[in-house]
Amino acid sequence: MDTFPFQQTPVPVGAAAPDLLLEMTFSPKLFIIGDIASKLEPLVQHGVEWLDARVDNSPSQPSDEQLEVYDNYRMPYIQQTYRLTDKEKQFGKLNWLDTDSTEFDFSKLENIPVEQRLIFKLEEDFGLVFIHQSVIDLLKEHVKTVWVRDI
């Protein structure tokens, strides 16, 4: 996570909703505010289904006054996977690949058009999401606030 180009920004008290929310789960999720997502969606179509989403920042079992829900988000539901290692998928294990000691063979992507590999998951470990630099650059151009949640 330290090498991911988007890190948590300071959240001032009474802060508005973030432009980008990263939920770090077994299968990481990106929640992108609608106006920024509308710039990405025409670019990122292959292997991704764009879903309407809400960001719930309420505490566990909130009272009515504590409800903090933000609408107008889009989430890329990533269906595309590619195999980049010689490892086998181990069913029933979460995030089992050690990325520091695993060699990724990106040459396996050379014959796949760029537009088909802008965002994808690793077939061997769904906990790893790969995002093409062109998508990162577009996000960097527009994203000002980032929240990261480790779920």
Q: Where are the domains of the chain?
A: 20-150
Q: Mean pLDDT over residues 66-89, rounded?
A: 90
- pLDDT tens by residue, 125-151: 778 899 999 999 999 999 999 988 887
Burial 120-138 (b: 16+ CB within 10 A, else e): bbbbbbbbbbbbbeebeeb
Of residues 5 and 51, more confidently modeled: 51
pTM: 0.81
Of residues 2 and 68, more confidently modeled: 68
Q: How far apart are CA 54 and CA 58, in angstroms?
A: 12
Of residues 75 and 128, more confidently modeled: 75
